[in-house]
Chains A and B, each alone.
Chain A
Amino acid sequence: MKTLPAVDVVIAGGGWSGLLMAKELGTRSGLSILVLERGRPRNPKEYSEGMDEVDYALRLRMMQDPSRDTVTFRHTSADRALPIRQFASFLPGEGMGGAGEHWNGMTPRFQPDVFEVLSRTIKRYGRKRLPDNHAIQNWGIEYSQIEPYYVLAEQLLGVSGKNESNPFAGQRSAPYPTPAMKQSYFATILRDAATSVGYHPYPSPSANLSQTYRNPDGVIRPACQYCGFCERFGCMVGAKAQPTNVLLPVIQKRRNVEIRTGYNVRRIVHKDGKATGAIYIDAKGDEVFQPAGLTFLSSWTLNNTRLLLLSGLGRPYDPASGKAGVGSNLTHQASRNATFFLEKPLNAFMGSGASGFSFSDLDADNFDHGPLDFLRGAHVFSASTGHRPIQNFGVVPEDTKRNWGSEWKKAAIEAFDHDGRVGASGEHLAYRVNFMDLDPTYRDAWGDPLLRLTIDWQDNERRMSRYVGDKLLLLGKAAGATKVRLAPPLSRYDVNTYRSTHIQGGAIMGESPATSVVNPLLQHWDASNVFVLGASAFPQNASGNPTLTVLALTLRVADAVVQRYLPHPGPLA
C-alpha cells in the first residue's frame, strides 16, 4: 500500500458538513487540508439539463450507487437482515456536495426543548412516562449554546423566513437574512385552514432564497424561480443553497485545501487513542494510506457509523446492555402525510422545495401530553415542491376501484392538480432495539461488510401518527377538501416508501463517554484528534429537517478547533 506525504487535516466526505469544515479551517488557519469524496465532481452549470423526472427523480441519478454499496435492514434482532437493493425510504447522496445538492432547502431551527428531551420529559411528566425500552438522551448542549451558530448558519445560506411568525420557536438573536418566500395557492389554503382551527402557521424557513443574497463570505446567489425542481435535482439557477454554490467558491480560492473526488475512505487508522490517517481507494482502485494529524468524518449518518465500526474506533453498541455505543440510537422520521382533494386547480407545477406554510402546534411538547398515550409530536407543512407528473399521477381518492384501466384513468386525471399535499414530519425517539452494526453476510464491491440497520416503529410513534392523522382529517375539512386521502398510520418500518433522508444516530453526542460516542463538540471520546460531523451525532430525531442544525453544530466545532484545539491539542470536554 502506497503511503502519501502527511497532511494536517483529512476530511472524509465532501457534503455539507465536510466542505463547511474545509471552508472554516481553510480560511481561518494555514493548515493543509485534504477532502476525500467518493463520488463524482459536479458541474452546477449543467443542472438545467437535469430537469428530467425519469433520470433524476425515478432513476436517482444524483444518489449513491447501491450496486457498489448499500445497507441491510431487518425489523428486530430476531429477524434476518436483507439488503436494501434499491433506495426508496431514504436517498443517500453521493458526489461533490452530497445530498446537499438535491435537497429541498427546508431549514427550520429545532424546537428549543429538543436538546433536552430526556430531562424536560421527566420534569413535566415523570420518569414512568418514558417508554420501557427507550434510549432517549439529552444532547449535552442547550438551545442557548447552539443559537449563535444557528444565526451563522442562516446567514451562510441566506435563509428566508418571517420573523416572529412562529410562537413556538426558540429565541432568535438575529432576524432572518431574507424575507419569506412567495407562496403557492395551496400553501395559502393550508395557512387559512390551519388558522381557522386555531393553529399558528408561519412561512416555512427556506434556503432557496426569496431574493438575491450576498452572504458574509461575499458569495452571491440569485432569487428562487419557483420552477418546481428542487428535491432530487440540483438547482439550475443556483438559488437553492448547495455546498457547490455556497462553500466551493470560497474553498477554491484557498491553496491550502485540496479536494479529491472518486476517493473512497475505507478505514481510519488509529493507535493508542490517536488517529494517524485514513486508508482510501483512489480513482484507479489502488489502496492508499493518507497520514493526517486531524481527522473529520463527514460521510453522512450511515457511512460515519460504518467507518467507525470497520475501523474499530470506539466501543460498538451492545443491544444486550443497552449502553450507548457506535451504532446506537438509530432513528428516522415518524412522518404521516395526507392528500387533500380540492375542487379548484392548484397550478402545483409552480413551487419551490421549501416554500409553503408550517405550523408547530402539534410538535415537540407544544401541547399537553398529560392525557395522551404518547410523547412528542410532528410539525405540519404544505408541500409545494413542484408537481411532476409521473410521481404525482394516480394519487386518487380511496374509493377508486382498481389502479389501472379507464375508470382509474378518469379518476386520476380528475384528481391531478387538485391534490394538495400535507406532510406531518414527526419526531422519532431512540430505543435500545433500533441500532446499526456490521452485516454478517452481505458485502460491498470492495469486500467490506455492509452496515446493518435494525429498526422498527414502537408504540409511541404508532400512537402519535394516529393522533396526528386525526388532526390532518380535521384540517382537510377546514380546507374545504372534498375528500382526504391519509397515508396509513405507522405500523412496521418499510423501506419501500420515501419518508425523508433524515436517518440519524450511530455516533451520538452526549455529556459523558459512558452514554455517548462523541462529546458535545463532536470529538471522539476515544480519539481526541477525530471529530464525527453530521446527524450521526443526534441522540434522537427531532421533527425538523436536520441540515441547519448539522451546519450550526459544524460551525460550533470549527470555532472550538480553531480557538482551543489547535493551540492545545487534546480532549475539549
Chain B
Amino acid sequence: MPIASQARILKVPLRFLTEDEARVVGAASARIFPADDLGPGANEAGVVIYIDRQLAGPYGKDRYRYTQPPFEVGVPEQGYQGKESPREIYRSGCAQLKGFANLPAEAQDARLEQIEKTRFFQLVRQHTIEGMFCDPMHGGNASLIGWQMLGFPGPYMSWSDEIEKHPGRALRPKPKSLSQILDRPVKPWEDSEK
C-alpha cells in the first residue's frame, strides 16, 4: 500500500485490509481530514495504516466488547447493539464504496454525504481523528505532523515549572512521541495481543 508521507513513498504491509479496501479507506479519510492550506491531512499522517492495524488487533475483532446474543434493536440511548465487529463493518462498508478512490473530490464528498449516518462512516470519521493524532507507535500521526498542527507536545513527563508561567501565551515545545520521551520502545496494545 503506497502512502505519500512528506514526499516519500512508503511501502507498508497491510495486516487486515485488502489493497482495494485500503484505497477506499485512504480516500474517504482524506476527504474527512483533507490536506489543505492549514496543513497535511489523513494521507500524509498515515491514517489508513493506523486503521488497518486497529482492525487487525483486538479492537477490530471485538475482543473487548460484550458480544453475547440476542442482538436486539434498542433505543439510541442504549448504545450500539449491532452484531458486526469493526472489521466486518469496514469489510461491508468498503464493498459498498467500490470505485470510490477513483472519483473526483466533489463526487467523493457527495457519496460520503449519502452514507453520513451509517455506522461505517461514523467509524471511519472517528478513526481518522484517531489516526491523525495518535502516538506514532500506532501507525498514524507520521513524523508527528498531527501534533505539530495542533501544538500538542506529546506525553512530556513534567510541566510543573511551566504551568503557571505562560498565561494567554502559546507554549509550543517540539512534539515528542512516547518512545522518544521514555527513550525506549513501547508496544501498542494491537501488537501485544494478536
Closest to A65 in B: B64
Query: What distance in Å separates the Cβ of B28 from its nearest Cβ neighbour in chain A?
Result: 10
Closest to B159 in A: A350
CB neighbours (8 Å) of A493 from chain B are 77
Complex alpha-carbon distance, A74 and B77, angstroms: 9
Is B81's CB within 8 Å of the partner chain A? yes
CB neighbours (8 Å) of B188 from chain A are 52, 54-55
Contacts known (A347-B171, A443-B68, A495-B79); A389 close to B59, Cβ less than 8 A: no
B66 engages A349 (CB within 8 Å): no
Is B151's CB within 8 Å of the partner chain A? yes
Complex alpha-carbon distance, A406 and B133, angstroms: 17
Please report whether the interface of chain A is mostly helix, strand, loop or mixed according to DSSP: loop
Complex alpha-carbon distance, A182 and B36, angstroms: 39
Contact residues of B between 92 and 145, Cβ < 8 Å to A: 109, 112, 125, 128-130, 132-135, 137-138
A413 engages B146 (CB within 8 Å): no
Q: What is the 8 Å Cβ interface bit string for chain A, positions 435-448, against chain B (1 contact, 0 not)?
A: 00000011100000
CB neighbours (8 Å) of B138 from chain A are 54
User: CB < 8 Å: which of B129, B135, B160, B169 contacts A52?
Assistant: B135
CB neighbours (8 Å) of B166 from chain A are 185, 347
Q: What is the 8 Å Cβ interface bit string for chain A, positions 517-532, against chain B (1 contact, 0 not)?
A: 0000000000000000
| Most chain B beta-carbon contacts within 10 A, residue among A67, A73, A394 | A67
Complex alpha-carbon distance, A467 and B67, angstroms: 40
B65 engages A223 (CB within 8 Å): no
Q: Total interface residues on A, using CB and 8 Å?
A: 69
Is A66's CB within 8 Å of the partner chain B? yes
B158 engages A226 (CB within 8 Å): yes
Is A417's CB within 8 Å of the partner chain B? yes
B178 engages A52 (CB within 8 Å): yes
A88 engages B133 (CB within 8 Å): no
B79 engages A88 (CB within 8 Å): yes
Is A134's CB within 8 Å of the partner chain B? no
B66 engages A404 (CB within 8 Å): no
Contact residues of A between 229 and 264, Cβ < 8 Å to B: 229, 236-237
Closest to B168 in A: A344
B31 engages A404 (CB within 8 Å): yes
Complex alpha-carbon distance, A224 and B163, angstroms: 12
B160 engages A389 (CB within 8 Å): no
Is A85's CB within 8 Å of the partner chain B? yes
B36 engages A495 (CB within 8 Å): no
A404 engages B38 (CB within 8 Å): no
Complex alpha-carbon distance, A443 and B65, angstroms: 14
Query: What distance in Å separates the Cβ of B134 from its nearest Cβ neighbour in chain A?
Result: 5
Complex alpha-carbon distance, A54 and B66, angstroms: 20
Please tell me which stretch of A2-10, A28-36, A75-83, A151-159 contacts chain B, meaning at least 4 of its Cβ atoms lie within 8 angstroms of it: A75-83
Complex alpha-carbon distance, A393 and B151, angstroms: 12
User: CB < 8 Å: which of B66, B135, B147, B163 contacts A350?
Assistant: B163
User: CB < 8 Å: which of B36, B152, B162 contacts A406?
Assistant: B36
Is A163's CB within 8 Å of the partner chain B? no
Complex alpha-carbon distance, A417 and B133, angstroms: 14
A405 engages B32 (CB within 8 Å): yes
User: CB < 8 Å: which of A55, A73, A410 contacts B78?
Assistant: A73
CB neighbours (8 Å) of A406 from chain B are 34, 36
Q: What is the 8 Å Cβ interface bit string for chain B, positions 74-86, against chain A (1 contact, 0 not)?
A: 1111111100000
Query: What distance in Å separates the Cβ of A419 from its nearest Cβ neighbour in chain B?
Result: 12
CB-defined A-B contacts under 8 Å, sample of 15: A54-B188, A73-B79, A344-B169, A347-B166, A349-B152, A351-B163, A390-B129, A390-B133, A390-B134, A404-B33, A405-B109, A417-B170, A441-B70, A492-B75, A493-B77
Interface residues of B (CB under 8 A from A): 31-34, 36, 38-39, 41, 59, 62-68, 70, 72, 74-81, 109, 112, 125, 128-130, 132-135, 137-138, 146-147, 149-153, 155-160, 162-164, 166-171, 178, 181-182, 186, 188-189
Q: Known contacts A350-B171, A417-B150, A496-B76; can you find 17 more A-B pairs with CB under 8 A?
A: A48-B157, A48-B182, A54-B189, A55-B189, A59-B189, A61-B189, A74-B78, A85-B65, A85-B66, A86-B80, A88-B79, A349-B153, A350-B163, A389-B147, A390-B134, A492-B75, A492-B77
Interface residues of A (CB under 8 A from B): 48-49, 51-55, 58-61, 65-67, 70, 73-75, 79-80, 82-86, 88, 182-185, 188, 223-229, 236-237, 344-345, 347, 349-351, 387-390, 393-394, 403-406, 409-410, 413, 416-417, 441-443, 492-496
